[in-house]
Structure 1
Amino acid sequence: MGTVKITSWNVAHLERLTRAHPTAKERRRRDAVVREIRELAPDILCLLEGPAGEAGIDLVANDLLDGEWVAVKAADGNYATRGDQWIWFLVRQDLAARASLLPVGTWDAFAGVSWTCHLWGEFTEGTHRHYRHPQVLILDWNGLRVEFIGLHLKSKFINQGERLWRDERERFIREALTARIKMATEAANVRAYIDAKFRQVGNPALFVLGDFNDGPGKEYFEEQYLFFDLIANIQGNVFATSRFLNHGLFDIPDELCWTVRFRDFVQPDRRPEILLDHILFTQGLVNGSLPWQVKPHAGKVEHEVHELANAGLPKDSQTSDHRPVSLLVTTGPNP
């Protein structure tokens, strides 16, 4: 028996730490990021807000981390990602030969490149697509295909949102609802890929991890306007039990179940600590039917590692506003 540690971390504009001539503040932050990753010691690391392009992630893996982890790249060089916040997988050197990245064209063939999107109550038909295309790490574990869907859903950030909420509330609500609906359709597209896997393999070993951006004002919009929960779009139908995804943090104490702290101007009385970062996985990984197993209390938010890495640093030099989440998987021989 052995273990594999899976970690997801939004490192908040990691691109800025790969510049040729970093400022003193950036050097302090870069050194702290390296310390935090080494202390986390993941076997598989999903990085959110990673650098744009292969040259940037090579600098992270080879220069900052001294080649201890290997960046898993697309064989065709296509990541279908816009902007400068990319999704990357780093794996320990001993896993590199087993690891590959699913071509984005394969994802699109199973789940669609773009899709119809109706705003709430509107008959006008629009389309939407991923701004940051999901990246899928494939690990060949002695013949068992394990897939990790790295996900960073659309941001719900609204320009001048706090001012609009105060002075032009209807405009803010319309813009926020538009963003949330688009984000929900991205989650539905992820679920379409998961359902495709269940049509191909009766019992897939599948993880979904990353930043789902399900935070500011979520209860307000869900209770007043949308009446659905984003995470449920990905987890699936609880009555279709074999296809329902488990959550890696479901059995940790409530006071530890958060990854970001911020003041929510939409709901100022709500608890400032929210859970934006998640790890989900298929039933076969808990019911004993696969050689990979997630035991009780295997998931956690890495509060201790994060706070030790940032102790004594000024706010502008701290590693990230997100805390990493990890899951320890017990591995064994194929049955």
Structure 2
Amino acid sequence: MKIVNWNIEWMNNWFSGNDLPVWGSNTLSAPAARQTAGRVARVIRALNPDLLTLQEGPSARAEMALFLELLAEDGGPEFEMIMGNDGGAQKLFALRRVGGLCESFGLSTDPLTETLRDVWLADVNGDLLLESYEFTRAPLVISADPVAGQPVRIVVLHTKSKYVHRGRQLFDNPATRPEFIADAMLARRRISAEAFRLRSYLDALVAEDSGARVVVTGDFNDGPGQDFFERSYLTHNVTDILLGSTFYPDLIYTHGFLSRVSAAALFTARFDDFVDGVLDRPLLLDHFVISPALAPEVRDGGIAHHAFDAETLRMNGKREDRPSDHRPIWIELGLPLSG
């Protein structure tokens, strides 16, 4: 069973009308929106996923359905959808290819999963006071039933963004740099709070059932290595939190493709890093994290550079010149899932 995850840049800007959607918006003309969607559709067709999980999906099911109609044109694959409730104009989605190796899927509604929607106490603003906090976007948790295999729990995650409004302007001015640092630290504390909360859920799944078959995927807004804030302000590396502690080896999750991709290709996005002064910095923001029992069944995985590059005219041009600002990632689960 092939699982593809992709943060598709602001799909909501492709549409107007919500439940009665049409192509185009105040941001993109109808032709530009269809051109962008066409690039995305061709990448998805090239990857041919059995299960496709998305971040930054549109705000309405009918808008996603309009895109799926375009995807199915000229004999393309048909997909069924599950949409997350949270995220406003950046919804989480899971899509099942009809006739593929994912026989069925549905929302996970067990009591443990339902607690992910509860508030908890955390000090996200650094004032040393614990206050109520909840996910910016609650993870979308589904159960996928592979053909001739056991169910797999898929957790789709899109953590709080690190983006700071007018960040570069604030950072470059010594007088306003403290304001930037404060806003950046608030975002990172919120991301850390969400990572720790999700990690407690992952621990509980394995503690409850050592054979738990779990995949966590999505845009974690963080990756390997330590950025300026982790080095100097002692914030946390989100991916390290989700993978687990070496003090509890039986609970450690495995990265889905880290060891399968060359160092030069180990990125899913490229952005200018004005804090460290690195232009067009390659960043690994999107991940698969696999539970201990399922890890041996990961047959392969990677970052879909070839399919993405084939549909990219230029990254810094018009929106319709690229499929997204993130590249898709994928894993393939083998025996006994595929028989």
TM bin, normalised by shorter chain, reads: 0.7 to 0.9
Instruction: After TM superposition, give the deviation of residue 199 of structure 1 in Å.
Output: 2.9
Q: 1:243 to 1:316 in 2, by over 3 A?
A: same
What's the CA shift string for 1:90-127, capped at 9, x where partnerless?
A: 11112565211123975233x45111121475322222
Q: Does the aligned pair in 2 maintain the 1:18–1:60 contact within 8 Å? A: no
**1:294 aligns to 2:298 (yes or no):** yes
| Match in the other structure for 2:135 | 130
**1:148 aligns to 2:154 (yes or no):** yes
**1:171 aligns to 2:168 (yes or no):** no
- Structure 2 counterpart of 1:265, which letter? F
| Match in the other structure for 2:9 | 12
Unmatched 5+ residue regions in structure 1?
Answer: 288-292
Secondary structure at 1:155 match in 2: coil
Selected match of 1:316 from 319, 331, 334: 319
Distance 2:337 2:257 in 1: 26
Distance 1:158 1:218 in 2: 19
Selected match of 2:266 from 234, 257, 261: 257
**1:50 aligns to 2:57 (yes or no):** yes
- Structure 1 counterpart of 2:43, which letter? E
Q: Does the aligned pair in 2 maintain the 1:12–1:322 contact within 8 Å? A: yes
Secondary structure at 1:234 match in 2: helix
Q: 1:104 to 1:85 in 2, by over 3 A?
A: farther
Q: 1:281 to 1:69 in 2, by over 3 A?
A: farther
Unmatched 5+ residue regions in structure 2?
Answer: 17-21
Bigger mean CA offset, 187-196 vs 115-124: 115-124
Instruction: After TM superposition, give the deviation of residue 240 of structure 1 in Å.
Output: 1.6
**1:158 aligns to 2:164 (yes or no):** yes
Q: Does the aligned pair in 2 maintain the 1:57–1:71 contact within 8 Å? A: no
**1:82 aligns to 2:87 (yes or no):** yes
**1:266 aligns to 2:275 (yes or no):** yes
Percent identity between the aligned chains?
Answer: 28
For residues 6-45 of structure 1, the aligned pairs below 5 Å read 6-19=3-16, 20-22=22-24, 23=29, 24-45=31-52
Distance 2:43 2:69 in 1: 16
What's the CA shift string for 1:24-55, capped at 9, x where partnerless?
A: 22221111111111111111111110111322
- Structure 2 counterpart of 1:219, which letter? D
Instruction: After TM superposition, give the deviation of residue 218 of structure 1 in Å.
Output: 5.4
Q: 1:218 to 1:172 in 2, by over 3 A?
A: farther
Q: Does the aligned pair in 1 maintain the 2:45–2:77 contact within 8 Å? A: no
**What is the TM-score when the length of structure 2 is the normalising length?**
0.86
Bigger mean CA offset, 223-232 vs 168-177: 223-232
Selected match of 1:194 from 192, 197, 202: 202
Distance 2:134 2:265 in 1: 34
**1:303 aligns to 2:305 (yes or no):** yes
Distance 1:319 1:104 in 2: 36
For residues 51-70 of structure 1, the aligned pairs below 5 Å read 51-66=58-73, 68-70=77-79
Bigger mean CA offset, 324-333 vs 309-318: 309-318
Selected match of 1:73 from 69, 82, 90: 82
What's the CA shift string for 1:58-101, capped at 9, x where partnerless?
A: 22223443582323337xxxx44032101101111125652111
Distance 1:198 1:239 in 2: 15
Q: Does the aligned pair in 1 maintain the 2:142–2:154 contact within 8 Å? A: yes
Distance 1:245 1:270 in 2: 32
Q: Does the aligned pair in 1 maintain the 2:150–2:337 contact within 8 Å? A: no
| Match in the other structure for 1:290 | none
Instruction: After TM superposition, give the deviation of residue 180 of structure 1 in Å.
Output: 0.3
Selected match of 2:236 from 225, 228, 231: 228
What is the RMSD computed on CA atoms of the aligned residues?
A: 2.5
- Structure 1 counterpart of 2:197, which letter? N
Distance 1:151 1:197 in 2: 17
Q: Does the aligned pair in 1 maintain the 2:112–2:201 contact within 8 Å? A: no
Q: Does the aligned pair in 1 maintain the 2:15–2:33 contact within 8 Å? A: no
Instruction: After TM superposition, give the deviation of residue 271 of structure 1 in Å.
Output: 6.9
Bigger mean CA offset, 44-53 vs 22-31: 22-31
